[in-house]
């Protein structure tokens, strides 16, 4: 199984890579006259090829495509539009297999637990599908059912992806994503444990309980297992369905603002955050209220690490290069020669330039600067040590940036983020002064 899947994925990766590389090489010979047109055609071909392969192979390839489809801020429309259907419209598994899985996990017939169970899923994604149901006591619920055999596919895909990324790092020295691969090995298996997901859901619900504008579903523990998760059924509008938001009279700019505030609270205040806010996992109700779903991927920061993230954010917002360098060191970043310039460049490219220029999200010009300047800085003085915990934060930043682009975000990042950083740093500074 693993060998066949490896050949299929490697072939898709190789053909996509060869398509872009050939345009790059041909443009050096023939000039740039039709380069943009060639790239647009290749974008469409590559995205369609990847979509077909993901639907056929499923497993980790779908998860990778879901992440790609969130990056409307970075990637061409052809990629985003083609792959966005994989957020919640993956071809579903037959109901017979789902029924057998639920009955095996709960140890009793479906009718002994549910008064109703819709055989057609509400959503189907990379690892599981969700069905609407009604418990015997009348409560409406969403039943998330893990696909039979998916654990073996995920393990095989992770090993195959590691091989492919090593090959890409050898071919293109500026695209070494192996550190991301290590994170995938760490976190994706957690998404296969629905008891862990239930814990995450309840923790975030407690942390955000004071916010009437955020809805987190209740978990029905007595009907949940490691592979079946039963929770409150909550309805809403998909956050990227801008037309539906408009029809419902919901201000998309208010949604973008609220989304940023809620994630600032999770990352900077709580140190525990939903790490997978792709469009299939965030809905909107009138108000607007945000509905957060799917807590398989969440992250808990140790207090010292959260403080480091806060200090880094504050230093970037205030353009304090010494503070940026000190915060990166506290977090565990290291460069080859020990000097901080590469880290300062990274901070500016990730957030600093966006704030100073008053941009709500990374626009085309900033993305071009990121693509040009970061590889240059890394060649001069590479980052040789990156703390694993930071990678999920940057992933969330990327997902939020993509959602912001779709919502035409007008968020003032400085005004939104600074109060959270100040509230946490001022008490810490006061405590330090008292100790002196």
| Mean local confidence (pLDDT), 205-231 | 97
Give the pLDDT of residue 371.
54
Query: What global pTM score does this model have?
Result: 0.75
Cis previous bond, 288, omega within 30:
yes
Q: Is-catalytic flag, 270?
A: no
Report the pLDDT averaged over residues 430-434.
Answer: 46
pLDDT digits (tens, 9 = 90+) for 151-195: 888 878 777 777 777 777 677 665 555 555 666 667 677 788 999
pLDDT, mean of residues 29-51: 83
- Distance of alpha carbon 400 from alpha carbon 244, whole angstroms: 20
Task: Check residue 173 and give its pLDDT.
Answer: 61
Give the closest residue to 126 by CA, choosing from 182, 95, 86.
86
Which of 43, 73, 276, 389 is the catalytic position? 276
pLDDT over threshold 80, residue 246: yes
Spans of all domains in the chain: 1-85, 91-124+127-234, 235-428
| Gyration radius from the chain CA atoms | 23
Q: In this structure, what is the dihedral angle of CA atoms 5, 9, 10, 13, given to the nearest 10 degrees?
A: 180
Tell which wins on pLDDT, 202 or 335. 202
Please tell me which residue, 6 or 69, carries the higher pLDDT value.
Answer: 6
Structure-token match 């525990």, residue found: 272
Q: Rounded to whole angstroms, what are the CA distances from 386 to 199, 328, 391?
A: 28, 10, 8
What is the predicted pLDDT for the residue at 379?
A: 64
At residue 254 the predicted structure's pLDDT band, cuts being 50, 70 and 90, is very high
Structure confidence at residue 435 as a pLDDT band (50, 70, 90)? very low
Q: Which residue has the tokens 């499923």?
A: 58
Q: What is the pLDDT of residues 355-413, one digit of tens each?
A: 666 655 545 555 556 556 655 665 666 776 777 667 677 778 777 877 888 898 888 87
Tens-place pLDDT, residues 287-341: 999 999 999 888 888 778 888 888 888 888 888 989 988 888 888 888 888 888 8
3-state secondary structure the chain: CHHHHHHHHHHHHHHHHHHHHHHHHHHHHHCCCCHHHHHHHHHHHHHHHHHHHHHHHCCHHHHHHHHHHHCCCCCCHHHHHHHHHHHCECCCCCHHHHHHHHHHHHCCCHHHCEEEECCCCCEECCCEEEEEEEECCCCEEEEEEECCCHHHHHHHHHHHHHHHHHHHHHHCCCCCCHHHHHHHHHHHHHHCCHHHHHHHHHHHHHHCCCCCCEECCCECHHHCCCCEEEEECCCCEECCCHHHHHHCCCCHHHHHHHHHHHHHHHHHHHCEEECCCCHHHEEEECCCEEEECCCCCEEECCHHHHHHHHHHHHHHHCCCHHHHHHHHHHHCCEECCCCCHHHHHHHHHHHHHHHHCCCCCCCHHHHHHHHHHHHHHHHHCCEEECCHHHHHHHHHHHHHHHHHHHCCCCCCHHHHHHHHHHHHHHHHHHHHHHHC
Indicate the average pLDDT of the chain: 82
pLDDT given at position 361: 52
Residues in Cβ contact with 5 at an 8 Å cutoff, skipping those fewer than 6 apart: 57, 59, 153, 156, 157, 160
């Amino acid at each position: 199984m693993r060998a066949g899947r490896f050949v299929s994925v490697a072939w898709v990766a190789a053909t996509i890579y060869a398509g872009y590389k050939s345009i790059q090489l041909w443009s050096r010979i023939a000039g740039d006259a039709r380069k943009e047109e060639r790239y647009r055609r290749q974008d469409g071909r590559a995205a369609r090829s990847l979509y077909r392969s993901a639907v056929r192979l499923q497993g980790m390839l779908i998860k990778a495509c879901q992440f790609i489809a969130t990056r409307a801020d970075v990637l061409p429309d052809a990629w985003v539009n083609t792959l966005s259907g994989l957020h919640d419209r993956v071809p579903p598994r037959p109901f017979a297999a789902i029924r057998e899985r639920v009955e095996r996990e709960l140890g009793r017939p479906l009718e002994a637990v549910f008064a109703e169970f819709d055989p057609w899923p509400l959503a189907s994604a990379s690892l599981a599908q969700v069905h609407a149901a009604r418990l015997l006591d009348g409560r409406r619920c969403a039943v998330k059912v893990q696909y039979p055999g998916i654990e073996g596919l995920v393990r095989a895909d992770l090993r195959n992806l590691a091989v492919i990324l090593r090959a890409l790092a050898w071919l293109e020295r500026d695209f070494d994503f192996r550190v991301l691969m290590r994170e995938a090995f760490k976190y994706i298996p957690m998404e296969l444990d629905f008891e862990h997901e239930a814990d995450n859901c309840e923790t975030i619900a407690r942390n955000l309980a004071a916010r009437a504008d955020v809805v987190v579903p209740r978990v029905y523990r007595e009907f949940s297992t490691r592979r079946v998760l039963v929770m409150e059924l909550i309805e809403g509008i998909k956050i990227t369905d801008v037309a539906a938001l408009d029809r419902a009279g919901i201000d998309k700019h208010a949604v973008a603002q609220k989304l940023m505030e809620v994630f600032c609270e999770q990352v900077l205040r709580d140190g525990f955050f939903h790490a997978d806010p792709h469009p299939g996992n965030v809905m909107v109700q009138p108000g607007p209220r945000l509905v957060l779903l799917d807590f398989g991927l969440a992250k808990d920061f140790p207090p010292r690490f959260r403080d480091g993230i806060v200090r880094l954010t504050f230093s970037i917002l205030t353009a304090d290069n010494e503070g940026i360098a000190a915060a990166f060191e506290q977090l565990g970043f290291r460069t080859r020669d020990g000097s901080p310039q590469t880290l300062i460049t990274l901070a500016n490219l990730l957030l600093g330039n966006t704030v100073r220029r008053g941009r709500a999200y990374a626009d085309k010009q900033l993305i071009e600067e990121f693509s040009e300047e970061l590889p240059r800085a890394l060649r001069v003085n590479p980052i040789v040590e990156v703390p694993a915990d930071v990678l999920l934060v940057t992933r969330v930043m990327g997902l939020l940036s993509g959602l912001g682009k779709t919502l035409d975000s007008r968020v003032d990042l400085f005004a939104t983020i600074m109060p959270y950083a100040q509230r946490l740093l001022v008490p810490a500074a006061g405590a330090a002064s008292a100790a002196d």
